[in-house]
Amino acid sequence: MPMRAIEAVANFHCVTGENPLWRAAEGRIYWEDIETGRLFRAAHSSGAHECFFHGDRVGGFTFQADGSLLLFEENRIARLDADGVRRVLADGIDPHMARFNDVIADPEGRVFAGTIGSSDENGGLFCVERDGSVRLLWRGTGCANGMAFTPDGRGFYWTCSTTRRIFLADYDRATGAVTNRRLFYVAPEAEGIPDGMSVDTNGDVWTTRWDGQAIYRLSPRAEVIERVELPVAKVSSLAFGGSDLDVAYVTTAGGTGTHEGGPEGTLYRITGLGVQGQPEHLSRIWL
């Protein structure tokens, strides 16, 4: 087993650090602070980091195939080009949402986008098709959260933070259909709240814990393989990065959103995990 190490990459004291996403073409990890509307990036090799955009609250984002970023904001979708120009593409998508939350692109370029509802029952999951049309997949949560695909491309994980449950569904790449949703794992209260996730090439699920100070590694049979402890309580999401996708970048929350504060809101990276992540997909919305 390689020697494991956890190190701080950048501390922007994020109120809600989220959505780490590896951009292989640049060798950089991107992430955000939802509440302050800031987007960040850091070079894997040097650790050099910056805040490169500051705007409205962003619940999640994807990389588009043309190099732009697709921003899922409070109740709208916007495009952010490399020159920093932001353009709203769709607005007023769902009157029941407080804002978008976790999002993920699928192999065909669609985007699955979760929402935080205005109540504990009307948040849900939407699918944004490549032509920009939006369809509701389901409601019934206050906070839709982490998603990931199984290595064989036939399964789709989705997290309901409100009920501390992770679900597994059948996924059809050709149509984008998500069917036969069933319970995969229920997190005991002592673990904290399931938040963002990623799935490695072995099929193991790496799921973070808000107010749980940890990442849990689950087998495809929902067995707890290990618990990786972080230095702060609110561990929000993770993504695999590096040239071999063998480094986990982990976002945290609870910071001040200013230049002052403690370690809360730091982006960490973990080496020596002994696993390899799957490449993330590019979205192709309105392209």
> 193 is written with which tokens?
């709240």
Q: Is 195 a catalytic residue?
A: yes
Could you give the angle at the alpha carbon of 34 between the alpha carbons of 116 and 134, nearest 5°? Answer: 45
Spatial separation of the C-alpha atoms in residues 155 and 169, rounded to whole Å: 6
Beta bridge partners of 138: 125
> 28 is written with which tokens?
């950089």
Reported for 207-215, long-range contacts at CB under 8 A and 24+ positions apart, including other chains, are 207/146, 207/159, 207/166, 208/146, 208/235, 208/236, 208/237, 208/238, 208/250, 209/235, 210/161, 210/234, 210/235, 210/236, 210/253, 212/187, 215/248, 215/250
Contact 101, 143 (CB under 8 A): yes
Catalytic residue among 33, 94, 106, 195: 195
Please enumerate in sequence order all residues whose Cβ is within 8 A of that of 175, keeping only pairs 6 or more positions apart, or say none.
none
The helix/strand/coil state of 117 is strand
- Neighbour-count burial of 51, counting CB atoms closer than 10 A to its CB (0-12 exposed, 13-18 middle, 19+ buried): middle
Please enumerate in sequence order all residues whose Cβ is within 8 A of that of 81, keeping only pairs 6 or more positions apart, or say none.
68, 87
Contact 147, 207 (CB under 8 A): no
* Catalytic residue annotation: 195
